[in-house]
Chain A
């Protein structure tokens, strides 16, 4: 069965400093992995998606994630945080099975950005 674990429930950074949000996955086959962002009282927006084409995936708003099979990790990074990045971030794996690919979400990491 597929699962994801987000290692930090809350991360706080200063504006202009790097962001690292950690995610480990468990999958019985080559997974499809996503990062979504949710701003307060909003829906979810796709940041980026990994589907085995390239291990380093670039997303929107300067975010990127690296798929490391040996470490079963898919950490999200950004070189320089902006105030508008403050939100909740979800690491997600697709079930991808015969039943159609329901998404399995991590518990979320809340990112705070201090001025």
Chain B
């Protein structure tokens, strides 16, 4: 039973480029969460999605960041025109239902912006 999968594991981008991070939830999970871990900081919630719907994006930066979870395929976190401050580890988690259900985390994508 495969866990949460994220790719790529490492991503290097130059300032101004776009970054696309992918997350495939665990089998049977339809709820996806994205978190960001900046250097020397804890994890911060970014966005919560169900299939084809954004439920809570209260943690997303207002500009350049977007997320989707289409009916078919993985969830995508997209960062346009990356800046050095976007360098961080981005973690995806999935759960079977919402509320206080346990969230299972992927290995993360480590983004480095040069």
Contact = CB atoms under 8 A, between A and B. Distances in A.
Nearest to B108: A43
B45 A46 contact: no
Interface residues of A, number: 24
Contacts, number: 65
Chain B interface extent, by class: 20 to 34
B56 to A, nearest CB: 4
Interface in A11-38: 32, 34, 36
A66 to B, nearest CB: 19
A44 B43 CA distance: 10
Interface in A36-55: 36, 41-46, 49, 51
Nearest to A30: B100
A44 B100 contact: no
Contact of B31 (A44, A49, A100, A107): A100
Interface in A93-115: 94, 96, 99-108
Given A44-B91, A100-B31, A100-B48, A105 B42 contact: yes
